[in-house]
Structure 1
Amino acid sequence: MNKFRSFAVILIFGLFISIQAHAQVHVGVYHSGIINQVGVGTDNEKKYFGELRLDATDLIDFPFGVEGMFHRNFRRGEWVNLHAGIMLGINDEGDGRFGIPLGLTFKPIAAHRNFAVLMEATPNVYLSPGSGDLSIRTNIGLRYTFRKEKD
């Protein structure tokens, strides 16, 4: 990854974390075939929430990628949330990616709603020069939201 991209990733990540200093934060691990991701984001129970995801694969010489996800909850329920949004990403080879994630977040434990299971499908297109490959990525993962205790 060249110095500019490294700086951009660190800057975006730093801004994202600093914005979250006084808010609820969720963390997640997601699996999608050969690509795993780790993510940190804003409170996924709000009407709008965001997430920064980093590729976490164990394949050698696989391009490292980072994605920003911006979602809107269309249904927020006690057991399940339905959300959709926009995904923008880039990898260290300079390939960009744009997608529209559609997801369901299940909260299966009544006594502990901070724990959730994510199922997501993201139709996406690569934005690299000379390419326009269309694909669909599916993720399944676990999320945990750290909430401040109410007084």
Structure 2
Amino acid sequence: MSKIRSFAIVLIFGVFISIQAQAQVHVGVYHSGYINQVGVGTDNEKLYFGELRLLATDIIDFPFGVEGMFHRNFKRGEWVNLHAGIMLGILENGNNAKVGLPLGLTFKPIAAHRNFAVLMEATPNIYSSGTFAIRSNIGLRYSFRKE
């Protein structure tokens, strides 16, 4: 994937986050086997929210990847949120675009600090090469929102 296309994806999603977030965003670090992800997104307590994830791995010569995730909260509670959506991603080499359907649970385990959350997520996805995979993530999220 060209650097211009990567930059365009990041820019478009950044504008989307800026318009919708109004300074209420979340950040996260997720672990999925040997591929880690770093994400930033809109307020995940709203009915609809989005997130931009960058693949972050320590494997030498692993292609850089960008994913845009758009979710809908089906259950929003004091302790847990249940959400699902669509994921669109592309790897650096440009030959592997992917589409997925993430299903996640966001747990807020600390009653006095609901901005901290634990994410558990499964994403069945298909690559443009025809390969099918199911990715599972576990990670930590922190929401910066006005109380």
Q: 1:17 to 1:46 in 2, by over 3 A?
A: closer
Cα RMSD of the aligned pairs, angstroms, is 1.4
Give the Cα–Cα distance (whole angstroms) in 1 for the partners of residues 142 and 49 of structure 2: 14
Unaligned runs of 5+ in 2: none
Are 1:5 and 1:92, in contact at CA under 8 Å, matched by a contact in 2?
A: no
Percent pairwise identity: 82
Aligned counterparts, 1:42-121, within 5 A: 42-94=42-94, 95-121=96-122
What's the offset of the Cα at 1:32? 0.1
How high is the TM-score relative to the length of structure 2? 0.93
- TM-score using structure 1 length: 0.91
Query: Residue type of the partner of 1:142?
Result: L
Tell me how far apart the structure 1 counterparts of residues 35 and 77 of structure 2 sit (CA, whole Å): 30
- Contact 2:116 2:140 survives alignment (8 Å): yes
Deviation by residue 1:96-124 (Cα, 9 ceiling, x = unmatched): 00000000000000000000000000000
- State the SS of the aligned residue for 1:16: helix
Structure 1 residue 93: Cα displacement: 0.7
Larger Rg: 1
Cα deviations by residue, 1:62-111 (Å, 9 ceiling, x for unpaired): 01000000001111111001110000001111110000000000000000
- Number of residue-to-residue matches in the alignment: 146
Q: CA deviation at 1:9?
A: 3.1
Unmatched runs of 5 consecutive residues or more in structure 1: none
